[in-house]
Structure 1
Amino acid sequence: MTLPEAVAGVTLAVLVLYVLLGGADFGGGVWDLFARGPRARRQRDVIAGAIGPIWEANHVWMIVAVVLLFSAFPTGFSVAMTALHIPITLMLVGIVLRGTSFVFRKVAPPPDGAESGWQTTFAVSSLLTPVMIGVVVGAVTVPGIGYENGVVTGGFVRPWLRPFPFLVGGFTLALFAWLAACYLVLETTDRELRDDFRRRALAAGWAVAAAGALVFAAGWAVAPAVVEHFLAGWGGASTLIGGVVGLAISQGAMLRRRWGLARAGTVATVVLVLVGWAQGQMPWIVRGAVTIHDAAAPDVTLKIVLWILGLGSLILVPAFVYLYATFKGRMLLPGGE
């Protein structure tokens, strides 16, 4: 494994952590929007209690991924940020609005029975941000962005304002909502609330299956070379099969109320989706424009990045373990009890 490949692998691992942790926070905002019925307030209280202690810390993983990208692959960072600055700006606006509205709706609650503007902002931004994350991923996955003689070509709108990136955006939204619902069943011991989130988890799981199939079919139609590259090696096919099996295990376990197994199946599926995408994307950062080897910083820089990341993890990882053990100790148990 070359140094650029090693750093790319570390970046992928950081992105996986961000999706599993931060992505579920966005999914919680989705279910906050769709909280309905006589238990709507209690559902929102569970969601707020689940997100509250850890949502700021979870964004650390996105920051680490961004720093790795612009430090280790500056050309790739430049091309992506230039060509996709509109959806990336919308994504960042969504992150900021979501965080501020989550805080302000707590410190400035509306009168009883009134709908808070901060409540609406929190929910809508929780929808917007995952879609924009998926749009960016979809845009760098299929050809459309060019890079010639140091100039980004293809325009600033056409590469992402296409059906395929938005299909990936919808899939990302469904994935985050599914993660959140599967986590939320373990955030309460109230049987009625668990059943509420159980129904949402089952619905979101089927939505993930349908959206994933649609993305795969659309990818084959608009960029068959990408799909063929993904399926050419054993890794792509195995992650695809493993993801389908993981989703089936999660759905079956959720039906039987085996919460720990359902959560494990969901996490495994999400990890396999991301690993499979990375295998199909290799060696490109932006397909058709720049590869990890073309964009890589000098070896001495990559070595320094890995050393700093290793030393930093000696502080970051124990801090996260302590944070989650403190606020999520019961949830981390095999059955969530």
Structure 2
Amino acid sequence: MVLSLNAYVLLGGADFGGGVWDFFARGNRREEQRALIAEAIGPIWEANHVWLILVVVLLFSCFPKAFAHLSTELHVPITIMLLGIVLRGSAFTFRSYDSKKDTVQRRWGRIFSMASLLTPVILGVCLGTVASGKIPMRTREAAAALSFTERFINPWCASLFPWAVGALTLMLFAFLAASYLTVEAPDEALKNVFRRRAQQSQIALLLTAFATLLLARFENPLLFTGLTRGTTAWAMHAITALSAVTSLWALKTRRFQVARLAAAAQASFILWGWAWTQFPWLLPPDRTITALAAPRITLQFTLGALAVGTAILLPSFVYLFRVFKSGETAFGDQHG
């Protein structure tokens, strides 16, 4: 599941980040910036959601109790996130194929950009709420005693930590997209635009990560302890920091291929650091992966199906990228 989520961050996350920079496109070459982003995202942007779907299917199959609990307790932010995904995809399509009049393009562009800003934040809010342990599995009587607001709104809306994780997710996606686009840009002027944005979003990402860690200390002591104790945790921090420094150095020296790889590594280690910190809890603070796992036979069949599916999915993705993204400005190169 974490591998699938990692793939979604590097692929789908970069696409969301492209929408963020579409929103902030400025200057005389803003239309060229948006055209580059559209070319980078399409025509295979929808395929990247396969990784998120895989996460959901694995959660449903391997941890059905956790799936039922999360989809119930977090149904409000999950619904908002799904609406954002649908609106973003629809707006991107309509902007590409609808009338080219400025008013029409601006309307679809605003919807596309705003959905690209909203959806990563809500995704991060959901992850932050789970990590904070604010949605414990209750008895039916205890759940019935809570009001709608207490049960379904307050856990994710009344605390700063989930929103800090949401902001961190947005900064991470924007940073990935800007780093990738330095490679995709066809000329030096556009490369410089996205180079500056990658540098700025990297700084914003580091500041947001630090703020999130401080909030975790006060609002989520269990997570903070996991993030700050143990050899593995500090090794993760060290590798993440090394990736960040490498990215900034590569951007400064215009080694954009290196910057792209460093950005992907940084994003991956942030995600795996969180996963390692939360292990063995699936629903902190008291429900472990083992306790919520499906029967052994179900896990065995799922593992077999996953092996067969992976043997089909990965070559299909490689073929898809080669067909649609084999050009000089292929966003798929960075996805590979």
How high is the TM-score relative to the length of structure 2? 0.92
Tell me the CA shift for residue 328 of structure 1.
3.4
1:206 aligns with 2:203: yes
Tell me the CA shift for residue 151 of structure 1.
7.1
Q: Which amino acid aligns with 1:169?
A: G
- Cα–Cα, structure 1 residues 199 and 152, in superposed 2: closer, same or farther, change >3 Å? farther
Match of 1:155 among 151, 158, 167: 151
Match of 2:182 among 173, 176, 185: 185
Percent of pairs identical after alignment?
A: 43
Q: Which amino acid aligns with 2:322?
A: A
Secondary structure of residue in 2 paired with 1:185: helix
Q: Which amino acid aligns with 2:52?
A: M
Q: What residue in structure 2 maps to residue 3 of structure 1? A: none
Match of 2:44 among 36, 54, 60: 54
Q: Which amino acid aligns with 2:20?
A: V
Match of 2:118 among 122, 125, 128: 128
CA distance in 2, matches of 1:78, 1:272: 29
CA distance in 1, matches of 2:81, 2:333: 34
Q: Which amino acid aligns with 2:261?
A: A
Larger mean CA deviation between 118-127 and 216-225 belongs to 216-225
Q: How many residues align?
A: 326
CA distance in 2, matches of 1:224, 1:104: 46
Q: Please give the root-mean-square deviation of Cα atoms over the aligned residues, in Å.
A: 2.0
1:92 aligns with 2:88: no
CA distance in 2, matches of 1:310, 1:36: 46
Q: Which amino acid aligns with 2:4?
A: V
Tell me the CA shift for residue 53 of structure 1.
2.1
CA distance in 2, matches of 1:101, 1:169: 23
Richer in helix (by share): 2
Q: What residue in structure 1 maps to residue 73 of structure 2? A: 83
Tell me the CA shift for residue 150 of structure 1.
5.9
Q: Which amino acid aligns with 1:204?
A: S
- Cα–Cα, structure 1 residues 103 and 113, in superposed 2: closer, same or farther, change >3 Å? closer
Tell me the CA shift for residue 333 of structure 1.
11
Q: What residue in structure 2 maps to residue 255 of structure 1? A: 252
Tell me the CA shift for residue 221 of structure 1.
1.5
Contact 1:130–1:169, Cα closer than 8 Å, also in 2: yes
CA distance in 2, matches of 1:63, 1:255: 37
Tell me the CA shift for residue 332 of structure 1.
8.2
Contact 1:15–1:61, Cα closer than 8 Å, also in 2: yes
Q: Which amino acid aligns with 1:117?
A: R
Secondary structure of residue in 1 paired with 2:137: strand
Match of 2:94 among 97, 100, 104: 104
CA distance in 2, matches of 1:150, 1:328: 51
CA distance in 2, matches of 1:289, 1:115: 50
Q: How does 1:1-337 map to 2 (within 5 A)?
A: 11-112=1-102, 116-149=106-139, 153=143, 155-161=151-157, 162-329=159-326, 330=328
- Cα–Cα, structure 1 residues 106 and 334, in superposed 2: closer, same or farther, change >3 Å? closer
Contact 2:168–2:205, Cα closer than 8 Å, also in 1: yes
Contact 1:145–1:289, Cα closer than 8 Å, also in 2: no
Q: Which amino acid aligns with 2:212?
A: V
CA distance in 2, matches of 1:262, 1:218: 29
Larger mean CA deviation between 310-319 and 228-237 belongs to 228-237
Tell me the CA shift for residue 245 of structure 1.
1.3
Q: Which residues of structure 1 form unaligned runs of 5+?
A: 1-10
Q: Deviations over 1:52-79 (max 9, x none)?
A: 1221110000011100001000111111
Tell me the CA shift for residue 300 of structure 1.
0.3
Tell me the CA shift for residue 229 of structure 1.
2.4
Larger mean CA deviation between 231-240 and 75-84 belongs to 231-240
Q: Deviations over 1:214-254 (max 9, x none)?
A: 10111011122321123333221111111111111101100
Q: Which amino acid aligns with 1:25?
A: D
Q: Deviations over 1:250-283 (max 9, x none)?
A: 0110011001110111111011001100011111
CA distance in 1, matches of 2:44, 2:142: 38
Secondary structure of residue in 2 paired with 1:285: strand
How high is the TM-score relative to the length of structure 1? 0.92
Secondary structure of residue in 2 paired with 1:195: helix
Q: Which amino acid aligns with 2:296?
A: D
Secondary structure of residue in 1 paired with 2:282: strand
